[in-house]
Structure 1
Amino acid sequence: MKFSEVIGQDDAKERLRQMVAENRVPHAIMLCGPQGCGKMALALAFASYLLCENNSGDDCCGSCRQCVMTDKLAHPDLHFSYPVIRPSGTGSEHKMSSEDFTGEWRHLLSQGPYFTMDQWLAAMGAANQQAQMGVGESDVVMRALSLKSSQGGYKVCIIWLPERMNAECANKMLKIIEEPPHKTVFIMVCEEPEKLLDTIRSRAQRIDIKRIETESIETALVDRRGIDADAARRIARAANGSWLNALEALNSDSEKKLFLDMFVSLMRLAYTRNIKELRKWSDTAAAYGRERQRRMLTYFVHLIRENFVYNFRIGELNYMTQDEENFARNFARFVNEANVIELSELMSRAIRDIGQNANPKIVFFDMATHIIVSLIRKP
């Protein structure tokens, strides 16, 4: 992965390059930002830059032996750590770790560095399990990094979503992050850094990665996907700084389309006060895995905001796809200053409850019945 292959994020690229140029590469870096902004792409590009034999310019050379191994995810000094589920057929005594799913991880990464937790769970065959890092993961990392660099340069460990470490894993990882082996660099890719131990956060240099510029997404859609300029402009604006959102918009069978259908159905049933069908709707939503449920609810919050703003009739403020806008034409008037905050809070509370392992059938039905009351509020 080269810096030139990362979509946008020119400021972050320059900051990372400057660290190397000034010989002040920290032993631990946190790349923090929203999903789809390219944190993993930046982590891989920086790892390639550190491991490259000829990185004197703005990018790794892409052709030396180190770059070839890195591109194939086969560099012996490049290590990955990531949350996993308990492998099928193993008992509670098994200390699950990234070694259980090395093949699945490499396959997912080989398809591109822009992916979601939902995609990773699907790759592992997780069903309703939630991925985390346990003490087995910290043991694997400490064992791998205790070895000398096979190529005589840096050793790089990319930790994807370290906020999913449990307490035992985090405390053991803290020890090696505090006193890392010689020329070892940790690159932590975080979406919820506030969930990390304060002691880990304090020992890493944080770089906040912003959402990708709309112009960069538009250019990438035209150059990499062959989309015509007008369609690329609309998709880029609706993507809201996420390359993942842009890719979903290209796929008519995408998860986002499913979420839109669920939102439309929920609002129509709530408006007609069809309790029986709302119960069925809640059962359907409850059958999704928890990660998908949280992603769907986050999307619902986004649509509430967009429908509220749509009432102002200022196109520059709206970030909707054509299908979303088609529904908003008739629905937006029901989202107003009297209920927009209440609707958003209902869905945010459902996200919290799902995250705390509440019964999803109860959570969704409770939310749906409260939406009935909210929709009849008038300004």
Structure 2
Amino acid sequence: MQFKNIVGHEALKQQLLSTVQENRVSHAQLFLGPEGSGNLALAHAYAQYINCEHKLPDDSCGNCPSCLKYEKIIHPDLHFSFPFFAKGSGETASTYMEDWRKAFLDNPYMSLNYWRNQLDAENKQANINIAEAHDIIKKLSLKAFEAEYKVLIMWLPEYLDTQGNALLKLIEEPPAKTLFLLVPENQDKILNTIISRTQLVKVNKLSHDELTQYLINVKQVDVNRANEIAFIADGNMQSALEQLQEESNTNFDLLIRWLRCIVTDSGLNIIQMCDEEFSKLGRENQKLFLIYAINILRQIVLLNQGLDQLVFLKDAELEFVQKFSEITTLDKLQVAIEQLEKTHYSVERNANPKILFLDLSLQLVLLFKYNTFPQGTQYI
């Protein structure tokens, strides 16, 4: 993958190019960025540039033998490690390499859930097991076949768990011309012993404008729909691509009807919506709805605090947040957002949607209708 094919991150791309051009390539780097930010794609483009035989000032050439093999993920000196859903104790990432190659080439912004859906994962837990750690040590102990550098790109090292200790010596003192590019989404879940041995490369989420322009120019989405998708995605390209598969976005209408039931304490209608609408959305659409609701409330917070210039909603959505900001308070919005985030977390873990959305609705009824805050709430 070439840098020019990755959305946004122009300053970071230049920084990465400079490290190669000035011979300052660190042997172990941590491309830390949120889901859908493109950190995996950046790590791959960086590795391709490092081993490109005819480097350009601003990108790899894309035509030399090394680049062509990198583009197809078949270079013998490029190795990938990633979480998988093992069916046996001896399996390694190599077992799933064909599936991984296809998934990455189809969608370099993929999430773990997207990767899970490419496999027959059932209810298995994602993991990078000890067999994979030993296989990495074995592969990197060999001499490079044809490139200047051997490169290991490890996606989501959070799933390495304590098995990562087996790699510590190799990461700290690797063979000559060997690079470790780790691509995590959550720094808190990575072993501290690994973090201390790597150089941090911070990858920010994509901006609203970057996502919008990509949807308009590449995906040929009309301006209003592109803005709507980018707003819900909140910098997550994977989320934006998932929304493109939907024929239309009905989240705004659903949110309005739901909040109307909440602020009027319409119990029967709330139960009916949880039973007949929310539970039938499907897990991914439930998550999209909750993310949309969270982003709407965040826009209300901005208006509530007089930061109108940061609000980019239009038409009916803008009218709604303006009215809602006049009848609520900052502490209520904070608690509501926390409740929505907790529900999103539970939806990801396959909790019962009827119970989740009913409980969420009742919490918000107490909050917005009766000014009752959940126990243990910390006020601003």
Residues 295, 47 of structure 1: CA spacing in aligned structure 2 closer, same or farther, 3 A cutoff?
farther
Letter in 1 for 2:361: A
Letter in 2 for 1:162: P
Between the aligned partners of 2:354 and 2:136, the Cα distance in structure 1 is 39
CA contact (8 A) 1:161 1:190 kept: yes
Which residue in 1 is equivalent to 2:127? 132
Q: 1:141 pairs with 119, 126, 136, which one?
A: 136
Matched positions, count: 369
Listed as ranges, the matches of 1:90-109 within 5 Å are 90=87, 94-109=89-104
Letter in 2 for 1:104: D
Q: Structure 1 residue 31 and structure 2 residue 24: aligned? A: no
Q: Secondary structure at the match of 2:267?
A: coil
CA contact (8 A) 1:77 1:155 kept: yes
Tell me whether 128-137 or 361-370 shows the greater mean CA deviation. Answer: 361-370
Listed as ranges, the matches of 1:366-377 within 5 Å are 366-377=359-370
Residues 227, 294 of structure 1: CA spacing in aligned structure 2 closer, same or farther, 3 A cutoff?
closer
Q: 1:171 pairs with 165, 173, 176, which one?
A: 165
**What RMSD over aligned residues (CA atoms) do the two structures have, in Å?**
3.6
Please report how far the alpha carbon of residue 318 of structure 1 lies from its aligned counterpart in structure 2 after TM superposition: 2.7
Q: Structure 1 residue 73 and structure 2 residue 73: aligned? A: yes
Q: Secondary structure at the match of 1:370?
A: helix
Which residue in 2 is equivalent to 1:273? 267
Which residue in 1 is equivalent to 2:205? 211
Deviations 1:288-324 (A, max 9, x none): 38xx876764554323223444668976433558786
Please report how far the alpha carbon of residue 116 of structure 1 lies from its aligned counterpart in structure 2 after TM superposition: 1.9
Listed as ranges, the matches of 1:234-313 within 5 Å are 239-253=233-247, 257=249, 263=255, 266-270=258-262, 271-274=265-268, 276-277=271-272, 280=275, 284=279, 288=283, 297-309=290-302
Q: Structure 1 residue 12 and structure 2 residue 5: aligned? A: no
Please report how far the alpha carbon of residue 40 of structure 1 lies from its aligned counterpart in structure 2 after TM superposition: 1.4
Please report how far the alpha carbon of residue 34 of structure 1 lies from its aligned counterpart in structure 2 after TM superposition: 2.0
Between the aligned partners of 1:216 and 1:182, the Cα distance in structure 2 is 38
TM-score of the aligned structures, taking structure 1 as reference length:
0.81
Deviations 1:229-271 (A, max 9, x none): 67656655665434344444544348xx476677556545544
Between the aligned partners of 2:153 and 2:89, the Cα distance in structure 1 is 24
Tell me whether 231-240 or 345-354 shows the greater mean CA deviation. Answer: 231-240
CA contact (8 A) 2:33 2:185 kept: yes
Please report how far the alpha carbon of residue 74 of structure 1 lies from its aligned counterpart in structure 2 after TM superposition: 0.5
Between the aligned partners of 1:273 and 1:294, the Cα distance in structure 2 is 23
TM-score of the aligned structures, taking structure 2 as reference length:
0.81
CA contact (8 A) 2:85 2:126 kept: yes
Q: Structure 1 residue 62 and structure 2 residue 56: aligned? A: no
Between the aligned partners of 1:329 and 1:249, the Cα distance in structure 2 is 26
CA contact (8 A) 1:235 1:321 kept: no
Please report how far the alpha carbon of residue 337 of structure 1 lies from its aligned counterpart in structure 2 after TM superposition: 3.1
CA contact (8 A) 2:332 2:367 kept: yes
Q: 1:340 pairs with 323, 329, 333, which one?
A: 333
Please report how far the alpha carbon of residue 155 of structure 1 lies from its aligned counterpart in structure 2 after TM superposition: 0.8
Residues 217, 305 of structure 1: CA spacing in aligned structure 2 closer, same or farther, 3 A cutoff?
closer
Which residue in 2 is equivalent to 1:43? 43
Which residue in 2 is equivalent to 1:161? 156
Between the aligned partners of 1:273 and 1:51, the Cα distance in structure 2 is 63
CA contact (8 A) 1:77 1:150 kept: yes
Identity of aligned residues (%): 31
Please report how far the alpha carbon of residue 62 of structure 1 lies from its aligned counterpart in structure 2 after TM superposition: 0.6
Between the aligned partners of 1:83 and 1:317, the Cα distance in structure 2 is 38
Between the aligned partners of 2:84 and 2:276, the Cα distance in structure 1 is 30
Letter in 2 for 1:241: G
Residues 39, 335 of structure 1: CA spacing in aligned structure 2 closer, same or farther, 3 A cutoff?
farther
Between the aligned partners of 2:342 and 2:119, the Cα distance in structure 1 is 29
Between the aligned partners of 2:167 and 2:23, the Cα distance in structure 1 is 25
Between the aligned partners of 1:286 and 1:341, the Cα distance in structure 2 is 26
Between the aligned partners of 1:53 and 1:303, the Cα distance in structure 2 is 48
Residues 320, 85 of structure 1: CA spacing in aligned structure 2 closer, same or farther, 3 A cutoff?
farther
Between the aligned partners of 1:73 and 1:228, the Cα distance in structure 2 is 33
Which residue in 1 is equivalent to 2:82? 82
Q: Secondary structure at the match of 2:31?
A: strand
Which residue in 1 is equivalent to 2:145? 150
